[in-house]
Each structure stands twice: as C-alpha cells, then as structure tokens.
Structure 1
Amino acid sequence: MVQDIYLTFDDGPNDEMDNILDILKTKKVKSTFFLVEPNMREYPQAVLRLIEEGHYPALHSVTHDKRMLYEGNPLNVAEEMRHTQKTLYELTGVTSHLTRAPFGSHPYMKEDLRHGLVQYMMKMWDWNVDTVDWKHHETAPGRIIENAIKGIDAVAEGQIVILLHVTKGTASVLSRLIDRINKDGVQFRAYDPEQHFTMNFWDDNRL
C-alpha cells in the first residue's frame, strides 16, 4: 500500500525559501507551503516560483499573533486568512482555501473560531508528525530528522502530514530528511483540494 507523505512548511516566504525550493526541485518532491501575508508581499517572486514548480500555496495568517488571532472577535482568524487569500490572488491569480492556525489549532481554535473558517468556506490542516524544527533548527538540526522518522513510525495508517518551517537549519537537513523518508511505497504529495482529507486536532470534519 502506498503511504502518502505531505511535507508542509510554515512561516514563509523568507530568505531561505529559494534554498528549500532548490532542494525540493532536485529531489523531485512536491510540498505545501503555509504562507504569512506580509512575507508574501516581501517575497512575491518566491510565491510565484513555488506555484510554478508544482507546490501548493496555503494560508497562515497576517499577524501570526496569538492575541490578535484568538482573542476578541471570533471572526479574527477567518478575516486574517481571507486577507492572506486575497493577497495570494493579487500576486499569483491563484485562490487557496487551505489554512493552518499559527501554533496549531489546539487549544486556540475553539468552535466559534472554527465556525468562522467554515463560513468563509475554508479548510484547516494541522499535522500528525511534528519535527519540532522551530526549536532545533539553530542548535541541533539533526534532531529534525530524528523527530520526523520517529513520528512517521508512530502513524499506524493513513496520510502523514509533517510540520516543518522555512528556516536555515531545516534547509540544511532537508535533503537528508527526504532521502531517509523516500523508500518503496512512499509517495510525496502536495495538498490537492480535489482530494481534501481531515487533518486537524479537533477532528472537525467540516474543515
């Protein structure tokens, strides 16, 4: 049975984006990028490139700020994602409905916040393999590979969604990580809205 693996990268684009895209191109791996709106405006060519090379552009908010997103108006998250969606369309002509809540949806994305995304016809992905690269990318990037392999081995069945970030440390081990994962029966995939599946910490199948 083929095991579908989705490499997903948060917080781009930034100065490391081209490096990561170069590695993915060399390895012939398609991925999904959760993009932050101000970063998209700063690096528009990187956004265009990722689309041209067959990766999927997804939405990761404007502020990336817990207080701004998760306190106050229950439409805050949906509004930030819609703003990010509009910027993506302005830059590329592509519309994306896939979101990822900064810091993960649990415990922040209570039902009223999730309902806002549903109102705006958006989907939301978390992950089931956490490389913890946000913690290790500067001091111990090798741990990123260890955590990924351990996490993959712990997923008994179904699709695997791996959390990574666009950082120098992650880029430094990405080629080796792909080589470790890439074996018979593995298929690297980018998100496909025509084949959406539920992947959120609330098991909310509306998303």
Structure 2
Amino acid sequence: MPSATPTATAQPETTPTALAPSPAPKTNTKKTVQPEASKKPSVPVQKNQGRVKLSQKKLTLSQLAVKYPDTFKLRGSAQEKKIALTFDDGPDTRFTPKVLDVLKANQVKATFFVLGSKASSYPDVIRRIVNEGHVIGNHSYSHANLPKLTVDKFQSQIINTESVLQGLIGYAPKLIRPPYGAINEEQVRWVADHHYLIVNWNVDSLDWKSLSSDQVLNNIMQQTKPGSIILQHSGGADSQDLSGTVQALGPLISKLKAAGYTFVTVPELLHVAKSK
C-alpha cells in the first residue's frame, strides 16, 4: 500500500486528494456575556462565501506541492527521460532481498523509504541496501497516519527513525515520504524549517493490493513519463503478497530501458543531497 498501514496493515497509501474539512465552530448558546475580543464573528454564508483565506483551509496534497515547491515533490523534471524507482514499507526478509537481487542483476539504483521500527529489526538488510548503492529515505517509525498526530508525536515519528538510520548508515536522510502520502500544512512547514524534503510520487503501481506481475507492470507502464517517481513496495503486512512486484521488476526495467529511460535515485532526479 502506498506504504502499508499505520503498522503496515491499514488503509491504502493511495495519494489522498484532499484532507477532511474541519468541523464548523459551534455557536455559543450560553447567555453569559463575553468580552468583544473573545467573540467569534458569525460569517453569513452568502455575503462572505469564497472569502476565507487559503491559510485557514486544509489544503490538498497537490495544493501543498504548489504552495511549497521547494519542500514538497511529486516528480522530477520532464526535460530528461530519467525516472526513479522507489520502494516503501521495508525492510523485511520476505521481499526486500528479492527486490535487491533484481536491481543488482539489472544494475539499477533505487530509493528505499524505510520504517524506523523495521530498520531496527532488520539492520543487515538496511546495510545491504546502502552497500549496493541505493538511497535510504525516512518513512516514519511505525507507518502512522501523520495528519492525525499531535505535533510532538509527528516529530517523534521522524526523529526516532532518523536516529535508528543514522546509527546504521552513517547519515540522516534528507528525504521523507509520509505514509499514505498524507501530511498537513503545519507538518510541511516543520519539514521545511528542519531542512528535510517531502517526496511523494506521480506513478502508483498499486502493488500493495497484492496484484499480479502483469497488473503491476501495466499500471506502471501506462503512467510513466520523463521525471516520474514510481511507487512500489518492498515490505508490508504479513497478509500482503508482493511477489507480483518482484516478478514485474525485471521486465519493467527492460521495457523502460528499451523506451529510452535512465534509472536514477531520487536525489539524482531532484538534484538534491541524500542527507541533511
């Protein structure tokens, strides 16, 4: 799933198009008199419709990408036929090593957005990813749905994962991919203030649905364009079968190479550093 579940089992990581609107403020029905400054002015719907400031609204992911272009990325430049393969929700010992085997056989470097909890459990797989020339990104500690967290808990998801990875790979990843692609504006501002970079995707393989190799291959081939960031998974819930991802990977690389594409890591595609 676009990054499995809050513990790698929940809702799909399909890119949300909008965050749920905040409930309207309740009207104070008590008769106690409040100071004028503390009263919330009622807003007549007809007179003031459309006049609410954008900053007061919950922005969609695409709106956040437009508002924070230096912090929130969905794709690379369309001027060159370069693309980036990305793999979420690992590492594990079921599928991550198989994905690495295919990438090695085809001499392709990719970007792995890993969970802090799983990195701690499978440090040898993390070291293999790095030793074979791939890039590591931060995918939170426990696959939490970030917009539902308090500020402190959100920060802990990122910082705790960074601490685990720093000890294993020797650098603090600059790249963050929120589970499900979901993040709110306050969190984006925190990311910007702390010099991270949010990287979502514009090609979704939907492989978290345990699709066949043909389905995974077709989903990617139909959407890929120059500059694409392609979402796949190298780990997930115990109930998920990512065999289709592994089996599709070799043919996918061959087809895209034949179409003139070059595979690069996300930092290479976006011309950014891999570490903070």
Q: Alignment partner for residue 60 of structure 1, among 139, 143, 146? A: 139
Tell me which residue corresponds to 2:117.
38
Tell me which residue corresponds to 1:195.
271
Aligned to 1:103, what secondary structure does the other structure show?
helix
Does the 8 A contact of 2:89 with 2:115 survive in 1?
Answer: yes
- Percent sequence identity is 29
| 2:220 pairs with 1:145 | no
Q: Alignment partner for residue 160 of structure 1, among 221, 228, 231? A: 228
Tell me which residue corresponds to 2:108.
29
Uncovered stretches (5+) of structure 2, i.e. residues with no partner: 1-78, 235-241
Report deviation, 1:75: 4.6
Distance 2:210 2:214 in 1: 8
Which structure's CA Rg is the greater one? 2
- The correspondence of residues 88-167 of structure 1 with structure 2, limited to 5 A, is 88-105=165-182, 109-137=183-211, 140-152=212-224, 155=225, 158-166=226-234, 167=242
Matched residue type, 2:257 = N
Does the 8 A contact of 1:74 with 1:116 survive in 2?
Answer: no
Tell me which residue corresponds to 1:203.
none
- How many residue pairs match? The answer is 186
| 2:160 pairs with 1:76 | no
The C-alpha deviation readout for 1:73-109, integer Å capped at 9, x for no partner, is 235333311211111011121221100010013xxx2
Matched residue type, 1:94 = Y
| 2:261 pairs with 1:186 | yes
Distance 1:13 1:38 in 2: 9
Matched residue type, 1:195 = H
CA gap of 1:150–1:184, structure 2 versus 1, over 3 A, is closer
Q: Alignment partner for residue 9 of structure 1, among 87, 109, 121? A: 87
Aligned to 1:45, what secondary structure does the other structure show?
helix
Matched residue type, 1:7 = L
The C-alpha deviation readout for 1:148-179, integer Å capped at 9, x for no partner, is 01011xx4xx5110000013331122111111
The C-alpha deviation readout for 1:109-136, integer Å capped at 9, x for no partner, is 2211111212322111010111111114
Distance 2:246 2:185 in 1: 35
Does the 8 A contact of 2:80 with 2:227 survive in 1?
Answer: no
Uncovered stretches (5+) of structure 1, i.e. residues with no partner: 198-207
Does the 8 A contact of 2:177 with 2:198 survive in 1?
Answer: yes
Aligned to 1:159, what secondary structure does the other structure show?
coil
Aligned to 2:209, what secondary structure does the other structure show?
helix
Aligned to 2:195, what secondary structure does the other structure show?
coil
Distance 1:72 1:35 in 2: 19
Matched residue type, 1:176 = P
Aligned to 1:179, what secondary structure does the other structure show?
helix
CA gap of 1:70–1:50, structure 2 versus 1, over 3 A, is same
| 2:245 pairs with 1:177 | no
* TM-score, normalising length: structure 1: 0.83
Does the 8 A contact of 2:84 with 2:229 survive in 1?
Answer: yes
Distance 1:3 1:77 in 2: 36
CA gap of 1:23–1:71, structure 2 versus 1, over 3 A, is same
Aligned to 1:51, what secondary structure does the other structure show?
helix
